[in-house]
Amino acid sequence: MLNGFGEYLFKGAGLTLVGAFIAFFAVLFSTILPIMLSSESSDFSIIVQPIDIEACRFESDISPSVLQILNPSIFENGSILRNKPAIIEVQNTISYGISPYKYPVDLKIVSSNSNIFIDFENNPQKIPNFKTKMYVYVKPVDYSIVHYPVIIQGIGGNGKIRNCTFYVTCISPQDYVKKGDNQSLMARYADAIESYDRAIELDPNYALAWNNKGISLGKQGNFEEAIKCFDEAIKLDPKYAIAWYNKGVILSGWSKYDEAIKAYNEAAMLDPNDAMAWNNKANVFNNQRKYDEAIKACDEAIKLNPNLAMAWQNKGNALGSQSKYDEAIKAYDEAIRLDPKNAAVWYNKGVILGGRGKYDEAIKAYDEAIRLDPNYVMAWNNKGNVLNNQSKYDEAIKVCDEAIKLNPNLALARQNKGNALSGQAKYDEAIKAFDEAIKLDPNYAPTWNNRGIALKNKGKYDEAIKAYDEAIRLDPNFAIAWHNKGNALYGLSKYDEAIEAYNKANLLDTNYDNAKELG
């Protein structure tokens, strides 16, 4: 059943049906009669599709009539298509086929922005419903033209005049780059790349657009295409220090360290005050384990910018890798003073403190990293390792569970949990934790060693030896695994083999703090 409003409409339509027929015939006769009485013609109209046209840019002063041959464009359904013109359609207003408009129509532009040029190809000659091509160009400007009204006028041979207003939009390359930059800040990298591409289409020599496109491609992990963009920017402007710097960033992330160093060297040469180029260069040296060179690069960065926390952090990393722990801590403390909210520096400080046996201080550092970044899974994991070293196994298990919750695929967290369970003599649970860690990372020798310890403590010497052998296969210089294998062989009364394993361990001096026999 219809509601009240619906019933009213339905009834009203029925009551006015006769009136509608009368009105229709009245309009029809009033339209046809003048045409029948006059041999002149019906009127015409100008139709432009679409209404909002994104004009084609040009940089030359040559006339649009020549440009239309060199760079024709069509704008159809609001999008730009190459190699076809825009179309203006001029047609009769009466389509009954009675006495059509018989005069050709001359088209011209009446008013527009001084930067907008329009050219018509072959003004209409045939009737009715004739079409012509219209070319719209905008001379490059530093600002955008958005929805700007342009009036086209058609004049018939009998003096009939009709106007049509359509709208031109033309965004400048600079504005497309700004749009792309904003999209990139919102992590909308695909949209940003599309904006940069539009800027490049309008101005292929726009080095900034190539550079910024490279940044967005790099953030998508598309390193190869990013490098191509930076190379294009550098080709356009060989002294473009930022492009060299960004190329170094991508090459470093791509583990192409030697090429990255070359790019950073070029950036530093072009901009001697670029502390970040030196800092990033130091980071690459750290990845290459060239710690002396890393420290020198950090010192250069710090000389240029003493407040660059990242340079102090990278220096601390290099010093820590050289076992210069006191100097490393000083560097980290300076980085923390400059940037106390950097969770990574607190984490790195915790690593050094834990390695030096300063467990309480290490816990404080890891706690600060976690406070700043509650999802910092490695800080949770390493805190669990330190708690194991303090024999605080219940706390260690809770912390390891938090790390596993954050990253179920982190094998180290399951290993550390296994260590804590072994410390509580819960060997079956420990073996289960080690097995889960091995499933995630079967090539980590310490986990096999620690699994062997749990099996040996259960009296399963043969299985323990198999676990130690796997650890030794993965790392033949794993001294502790050789020593632990000797213990298991001794438990089987295989004294000669045990002595051989102990001798092998004594020849090696590798120390695995996280693989000591527990208990």
**What is the pLDDT at residue 169?**
83
d(Cα 299, Cα 363) in Å, to the nearest integer?
Answer: 29
Judge whether residue 35 has pLDDT over 90: no
pLDDT, residue 22, reads 38
Region 416-441: what's the mean pLDDT?
98
Burial of 43-73, coded b for 16+ CB within 10 Å and e otherwise, reads ebebebeeeebbbbbbeeeeebeebbeebbb
What span, in angstroms and rounded, lies between the C-alpha atoms of 436 and 235? 52
Percent of the chain with pLDDT over 90: 63
Superfamily of chain region 273-340: Tetratricopeptide repeat domain (1.25.40.10)
Q: What integer is the mean pLDDT of 259-264?
A: 97
Of the listed ranges 96-100, 361-365, 414-418, 435-439, the one predicted with least confidence: 96-100
Where does the pLDDT of residue 510 fall: very low under 50, low under 70, confident under 90, or very high at 90 and above? very low
Decide if pLDDT at 261 tops 90. Answer: yes
Q: Which of 14-23, 170-179, 350-359 has the lowest mean pLDDT?
A: 14-23
> What count of other Cβ atoms lies within 10 Å of the Cβ of residue 148?
19
Tokens of 250: 């991508």
Answer yes or no: is pLDDT of 41 > 60: no
**Residue in the structure block whose two tokens are 């749009």:** 179
| Averaged pLDDT, 289-313 | 97
- Please tell me which of 110-124, 291-305, 496-510 the model is most confident about, judged by mean pLDDT: 291-305
- Given a cut of 80, whether residue 451 has pLDDT beyond it is yes
Query: What confidence score (pLDDT) does residue 125 get?
Result: 64
CA nearest neighbour of 471 among 489, 453, 445: 445
pLDDT tops 80 at residue 34: no
Contacts for 464-473: CB closer than 8 Å, 24+ residues apart? 464/488, 465/489, 465/492, 470/445, 471/445, 471/446, 472/445
d(CA 464, CA 506): 20
Cβ proximity of 388 and 423 under 8 Å: yes
> Which residues are registered as beta bridge partners of 164?
152
Say whether pLDDT at 10 is over 50: no
Is pLDDT at 179 greater than 80 in this prediction? yes
Q: Looking at this protein, which amino acid is placed at residue 108?
A: K
Distance CA 403, CA 417 (A): 10
Task: Tell me the CATH number of domain 173-268, given options 3.40.225.10, 1.10.10.10, 1.25.40.10, 3.30.420.40.
Answer: 1.25.40.10
Least confident of 83-87, 281-285, 391-395, 405-409: 83-87
Crossing angle of the two packed helices 377-389 and 411-423, in degrees rounded to 10: 20
The answer to whether 154 touches 46, Cβ cutoff 8 Å, is yes
Distance (Å, whole) CA 201 – CA 262 = 30
- Name the strand (E) or helix (H) holding 173: helix 173-185
Which of 46-50, 203-207, 322-326 is predicted most confidently?
A: 322-326
Give the model confidence (pLDDT) of 45-103 as tens digits: 788 876 677 776 666 554 544 444 444 444 444 334 333 445 666 665 555 544 556 67
| C-alpha dihedral sign at 491, 496, 498, 502 | positive
Confidence tier at 116 by pLDDT (50, 70, 90): confident
* pLDDT-based confidence at residue 509 (cuts at 50, 70, 90): low
Q: What is the pTM assigned to this prediction? A: 0.72
Q: CA-CA distance, 125 to 474, in Å (whole number)?
A: 86
Mean pLDDT throughout 430-456? Answer: 97
| Two tokens, residue 280 | 């990033």
Is beta strand 73-76 parallel, antiparallel or unpaired with respect to 86-92? unpaired
Q: pLDDT tens digits for 267-285?
A: 999 999 999 999 999 999 9
Q: Residue 222: pLDDT above 70? A: yes
Angstrom distance (rounded) from CA 117 to CA 286: 58
Q: Which residue has the tokens 């099996």?
A: 455
Indicate the average pLDDT of the chain. 83
In sequence order, the 6+-apart residues with CB closer than 8 A to the CB of 235 are none
* Cα angle: 156, vertex 157, 159; to 5 degrees: 65
β-partners of residue 107 are 154
pLDDT band for position 143 (50/70/90)? confident
Q: By the 8 A CB rule, do 193 and 217 touch?
A: yes
Task: Give Rg (Cα) of the chain.
Answer: 39
Residue 6 has pLDDT above 70, yes or no: no
Q: Give the side-chain half-sphere CA count within 13 A for 453.
A: 28
CA pair distance 447, 468, nearest whole angstrom: 10
Q: What is the mean pLDDT of residues 290-318?
A: 98
Q: What is the domain class of 443-519 according to CATH?
A: mainly alpha
In CATH, 41-170 is 3.90.1150.10? no
